[in-house]
Structure 1
């Protein structure tokens, strides 16, 4: 499906109407007249959007008529001189709590319907760290089910809140871990650049692994099994590298130099740390 910025009237007709794309758990069609400034109409907008967020996310299109959940055509459209993206955003910001973070709103020009006629597309992401979202006007939580917004049961609200807390905790753990992994990567990279022929104090070459990383079982538990193993191997490789630094060049008491095998080990440590940091950054990017 094209990015919203690339949509036009022909795309709406081809993709949804002519494509006979039925309403579903993630798609709803609304007549343009459903978008209104009465309190009941604004509440309905907030209820529908929050219901999508509290379920799996989805999209609402204002401007396509439907019959028994099948699209039948683009209607006369919304008056763009009365309604715009900022107005919809303001209604949702004040009418849904907490604020929905993953939200896209686009006005699609409908030239065949006359001047200033548009359809509105609202794309809603699934609620994660901020779940669940409440419709402020009636103080209820809704979720998308069977083609409509239905009030959530108490256990569903509690489950969403538990998931939200777990998600936020996962983000915090990933953040702490990625900071340490990035530090180790930078440390290995800087040492790899050092001369291999000159002697320096042994402590100059050592790479310290924090106690937090050694005891980070709680943090790495949400990683894939192969990635958890990679973290353990990274720590092992650094410990092995430090042990070699402590014993290399036995003729020197306090000094040592970076041999080619040690440089290769530093390079391997840097690559492994980079890969692990990339996996953790993907987890952080999931956060709204």
Structure 2
């Protein structure tokens, strides 16, 4: 009868050491896959949202309305249904990612800019009301809330208020020369708009940035044809307390030089494209996903 040989303690220790090495190698190989997965999904989402917005425009003869304005508004009252709107402010949404905050700045709508938005079907935006209180007791723009993406919802889920746009209201714009961003820096060129949409980087452009939230008419309105989206997508590569909706860009006009005072406005706003919630556009996100850009 053959006697079965058992492992010695030394052999067991060697096996355990080998398994530890293999496990460590697997951890290293999986490190970063979550970020890469989010970048891959974002690349798909940017293209899908772009197509859906353009489809919505064809089906409904207008772009989606009631988008997230990304700014705060002064209000009185704690309930969205009864609160009084006072004015928009230049304060950005507190939960914007730092990357996006540094690419956007405040712009005051004049009559021509307002007319361009209205002609495109954009008549209302959602703002965070400074006095509104959500179900968790958070007030105004002071904290992200339990679900940061729903901060523009009515109370008590969010702290949002709907504003029918008027001359003098503030909106968020991308890289407008002559206008400091929310971090206080003044862009020296429109290179981001050049990369996104081929715009001349040496002149000033008025390009409004708005979030595609679940209150948008292409998501939340059964009386219109949605264009392919039943929920507002979100970008997964953000911190838990950051706003992660995708950003739509609408071009209102361009200047003949670097002075925004010389802007010539279009009769109707033009849809340029989509950014993720960190301010990256399609090619940039794709390059990060494939490892071409760090």
**Same structural fold, with TM-score higher than 0.5 when normalized by the shorter chain:** no
Q: Which has the larger helix fraction?
A: 1
Q: Which has the larger strand fraction?
A: 2
Q: Which of structures 1 and 2 has the larger relative contact order (alpha carbons within 8 angstroms, sep 6+)?
A: 2
Flag the structure with larger Rg: 1
Q: Normalised by the shorter chain, which TM-score bucket?
A: under 0.3
